[in-house]
Structures are given as structure tokens and as C-alpha cells.
Amino acid sequence: MAFDLAGSEGLAEGRSRSRRSRIVMLMLPGLIPSSHLSLTSTSVTMTSPSSTSPALLLLFLLLSSVYAEAPDCANKEDEIACSSEDKCVKLSYMCDGESDCAGGEDEDPDLCLVFKSHYRCEKEEVACRRGGELECMGLREYCQQVDPPCEGSLDPRMCKVFQDNTIHRFPSIVIPAEGVPDPSWRMSEALGEDLVANLNNTFSHPDCPEMYTMVADQCLSVFSVGKVSWGEARAFCRVLGGDLLTLQSVEHFTTVLQHLQNHQLTSDFWLGGRQREKGRGWAWLDDTPMVMGSPYWAVRRYDECRARNVTSANMMTRAANGSTCYHYRQAPEAEQLGYCATLSYQHYFYITDEDCLRQKSPLYGLGRNKRKFVNKVTLAVFERAGSEVTDKVTLFRSVADFQQLHEVAGKGGHITIIGGGFLGSELACALGYKTKSTKGSVIQVYPEYGNMAKVLPEYLSRWTTDKVKSEGVDIITHSTVKDVTTTPDGKLKLSFDTGKEVGFIYTFSLVYTL
């Protein structure tokens, strides 16, 4: 008879590791003649001569056992047993699109639907509410909570998988009625209450327009309930009259970070920072360079370590601290993970570089010191300035208004247009072209970085801005009118929130188009 010894040298390494059968042969000296036994690297062969008695053979079989070792997966927290074969697989291999169990139970669609479902938690984690606190924890830890147990939407059959430490197809798992936790609708209602509380803190303020709240001196909209790509987030921000948030200073960054933490928001948020091409450097939406390093950017930990280099005063590069190997590296990294900036909840809302197509929440603002819709604020500035100012201000509404302005431009007048939308940009082009031949002038002022920036992609907005400039229009970007006054000699003077002031001669007409 022959016994296969394949697998007797231990467990195979890597993803295909399994517990295979091994041979235990209990042999008594003199029981089987050595001439009847031969060994090779793969098999044991025993010949049974006629001289061997049946009783002796029976005794040999009783003393020789061939058994399959049952998988002992409970000794490792990150392993679980297959139900279709004697094999342990890593939890990280469950529901990864590739079957590791012979019966495919580790890729069972119903099981994977629950395994991958989580509320604001990472993969292999689920939200657990205990004592009024909501926290993310591993699935196994969630199922082990007893006093008190977790209140959550996790299917109890998933806990059965971890209690048995064996993967089963979901339809085959039966839970006794008394083991079913509270209905999921209770968890759903609790999450709804959390959502309302967050909306009250992030979508409402008397000094800001609808969907915005006041954070220090800026109206912000913290849209934590939606998750979209970076481009979609920016488009959505523009619809609401804002843009993805850009951080102006350490103080500004600290204020925003504290607001997110104080209201216990747990989403990742897109910022208005990106690197268009590798090697070009990171910049905000207005092309202002982003400050690298601390205190803005997050630190990530890696299993492998690397030495850090420092540059001395004489421009010599050397390894720091005796070539000490460090497991931490600061974003953004040379081996870039993505080209868009985000405030990462995992990293306590420090900035990380992420894939622009990942799903995250929009975080956007109207700009510093913008407490109402810009048009309402600007209009109020002129309304309280007095008749000596309002007589020279036109709220553009009709063809008659254009005819009046066209006449002013034809006489060499000086016109300032407030607003960078479609109407203001079209008007600036037409009047700028007219003043080329009359030695007049046209100035266009708006808070955005370019013409029609709220409705056009950035590259088209910048192209439009260049086109307007080519018609002879002077453009002042990133500016909102803060005050308008008259000088002793009858000139008008505009003051902007940037601190800049512009004075105009007598033949002046200001057009308000927002």
C-alpha cells in the first residue's frame, strides 16, 4: 500500500496557504521488515508479502493513522476558516473579487454586500452606537461587544460568521429569533437625528445665505451628506455661488479644522487645491502656491521605513540622524497617491493627496468677509452712499440701459462694471471695444478669479478673461466693493475688500450687473 506525503513538510506560504493532510505512521520495531518498506521524497510504499499474517496487518492499520488536520484559524485575529474546505483565509481576502475558498463562499454576494457596507467607516469596519457614542470598529470587535452590545445596522448573520469563525453562504445562516438585535430602523432614525444636528450647524446662519454657515469671518457650506468626485464637488459648489475652500493662512486652517472637529463631522472633504501635472507643484484654484509640510499636511505610516535626507548650509545632502529609518512620511509624497487635496478625517482633517475620482464631500465658501450674497452686499454699499453717488450708478436691466452706456462710451466716458457673470462680461467686451476709438475706459470688477468662473470650466473662464482684456478692459479680480465715496473735486472713489482703492474722473458711470 502507498501513502501520499504531499504537504507533510508544513504549510505553503502566501495567499494559497492551506492546511493539508499529513501522515502519522506509528511503527513498532520488528513489526514490518525493513525489506518491505521503501521511502521516497513523495511517498511511502509498503509491500505486503504473503508471509505477513492478517493479524499483523490489522495491528499495523490500527497503529497507523492517516488524518486531515482541522484548520485552527482562531489563533489569529486576521484569519477565518472556509466552510467548503480545510483552509484559513485572511479577512482582507474576503470580498476582494477573487475566490480563496473552494466553494466560493468568501465571495458570496449577500455576504459581501454586508461585509462592504459601512457608515462613514473604512472597509472591514462598521459604525457601533453604545451609550450615545458613535464609533467605527472592526467587524469582529463589533460582534464581540456585550455590555452593552452595539446598536447598528449590521446584519446579525455577519456576527454569526465571526462567532463560528467560519465563512458560510448567507442564505444558509439561520439566526434564532431571540438573537436578532433591535430593528435597523432604530439605527436609521438615530442617524437621521445626527444628520439634522449637523445640518443645523453647517447649513444655517443669519449672516450667510441659505446652505452656508459662519466660520470666523467666512461663510462656509459643509456638505457632509453628499460624496462625489473632486470635479463634481467643484461644479456643485459653483451652483450654490461658491467654490471649493482654499486655505489662506494657518489661522484660517485652524478655524476650519476646529469647526469640523467641534461638530463631530466624520467625512473627508475636498479642498480647492490640486496638482494639475506631476512636477508642477501644488496650487489653490487661483494658482496661489500651496504651502507644503507642517502644519498643513498629514503624516502617513508605512510598514517599510526610509531614511530622511537633510541639506547642510554648504548645500551638501546627507542622511539625517545617522541614517535612522523612519516609518512615517508626510503628504504629498513623491510616489503620488492623487492630484487633488482633501481634509482627511482619518488624519484628523490634515491635508492629504488623493485620487480626484474618489468619493468625498464638498467643502466650499463664498470667500473671506463675504457675509451675504455678494450682489446684495455690493448693492447696499451704493444705496447708502447718497444721491451724489447713486446718480452715477446704473442697475443694468434693459436695452435702454445699454443704449445709455453705449452713448457714454462713445463720448470717451469712463465706465466701471461690477460683476463677472455672463451679462457683465458681454457688456464689458462691447463697451471696451467702443472706447478704443474714443479714448474712454472700461473697468470690470468681480470677486472670482476669472470671467464667468461660476459657470465655466477653469480653462474656459481664463480664456474668456483674456478675450475681455484684449478688448481694452481693465479687470480687477478677487475684489468686492466695500465702500464708495466722493472726493472734494467731485470724483468717485471705490474701496475694495482687498484694501485697494480706485479713483475716477467726472465722466463716470458705474454699472451693477450681478
Q: Residues 487-501: pLDDT tens digits?
A: 777 777 788 888 777
Cα separation, 278 vs 336, in Å, equals 8
Torsion, Cα 291 293 298 301, to 10 degrees, reads: 150
Instruction: Examine the pLDDT at 29 and tell me if it is beyond 50.
Output: no
pLDDT band, very low/low/confident/very high, at 336 (cuts 50, 70, 90)? low
pLDDT band, very low/low/confident/very high, at 348 (cuts 50, 70, 90)? very high
- 328 bridge partner residues: 301
**23-41: average pLDDT:** 40
pTM of the entire predicted model: 0.40
**203-220: average pLDDT:** 76
Q: What is the grid cell recorded at 4?
A: 501520499
Q: Which domains does the chain have, with CATH numbers?
A: 2-67 (no CATH), 79-182 (no CATH), 192-310+319-368 (3.10.100.10), 374-512 (3.50.50.60)
pLDDT digits (tens, 9 = 90+) for 131-168: 777 788 888 888 888 878 888 778 888 888 888 888 88
Instruction: Examine the pLDDT at 429 and tell me if it is beyond 80.
Output: yes
Cβ–Cβ under 8 Å, residues 385 and 492: no
**292-320: average pLDDT:** 86
For 179-235, strand residue ranges (E) read: 213-215, 218-222
Cα separation, 285 vs 248, in Å, equals 12
Instruction: Examine the pLDDT at 295 and tell me if it is beyond 80.
Output: yes
**264-282: average pLDDT:** 86
pLDDT band, very low/low/confident/very high, at 120 (cuts 50, 70, 90)? low
- pLDDT of 50 reads 45
Which of 38-52, 299-313, 398-412, 487-501 comes out lowest in average pLDDT? 38-52
- pLDDT of 316 reads 83
pLDDT band, very low/low/confident/very high, at 217 (cuts 50, 70, 90)? confident
Cα separation, 66 vs 510, in Å, equals 97
pLDDT band, very low/low/confident/very high, at 351 (cuts 50, 70, 90)? very high
- pLDDT of 32 reads 42
For 398, which DSSP code?
S
Instruction: Examine the pLDDT at 178 and tell me if it is beyond 50.
Output: yes
Cβ–Cβ under 8 Å, residues 148 and 131: yes
Question: Which of 40-44, 254-258, 406-410 is most confident?
Answer: 254-258
Cβ–Cβ under 8 Å, residues 286 and 274: no
Which of 66-75, 166-175, 214-223, 292-301 comes out lowest in average pLDDT? 66-75
**Total residue count of the chain as it appears in this document:** 514
- pLDDT of 221 reads 85
- pLDDT of 228 reads 92
- On average, the pLDDT of the chain sits at 75
Instruction: Examine the pLDDT at 375 and tell me if it is beyond 60.
Output: no
Instruction: Examine the pLDDT at 245 and tell me if it is beyond 90.
Output: yes
Cα separation, 23 vs 11, in Å, equals 14
Phi, psi (rounded to 5 degrees) for 64: -105, 125
- pLDDT of 284 reads 93
Cα separation, 458 vs 479, in Å, equals 18
**83-94: average pLDDT:** 87
Which of 49-58, 61-70, 211-220 comes out lowest in average pLDDT? 61-70
**318-342: average pLDDT:** 83
Instruction: Examine the pLDDT at 308 and tell me if it is beyond 80.
Output: yes
Which of 166-175, 242-251, 442-451 comes out lowest in average pLDDT? 166-175
- 433-437's contacts with Cβ under 8 Å and 24+ in sequence apart are 433/471, 433/472, 434/406, 434/409, 434/410, 435/409, 435/472, 436/471, 436/472
Instruction: Examine the pLDDT at 76 and tell me if it is beyond 50.
Output: yes
CB-count burial class (<10 Å; 0-12, 13-18, 19+) for 297: buried
Q: Distance between alpha carbon 220 and the CA centroid of its chain, in Å?
A: 18
- pLDDT of 373 reads 37
**98-113: average pLDDT:** 88
- 495 bridge partner residues: 483, 501
- pLDDT of 507 reads 39
Q: Please give the biggest Cα pair distance in the chain.
A: 134
Cα separation, 83 vs 161, in Å, equals 10
User: What are the C-alpha distances in Å from 482 to residues 205, 376, 454, 492?
Assistant: 21, 12, 21, 14
Instruction: Examine the pLDDT at 255 and tell me if it is beyond 80.
Output: yes
Residue of 394, 440, 385 whose CA lies nearest to 417: 394
Question: Which of 90-94, 201-205, 256-260, 277-281 is most confident?
Answer: 256-260
- pLDDT of 446 reads 87
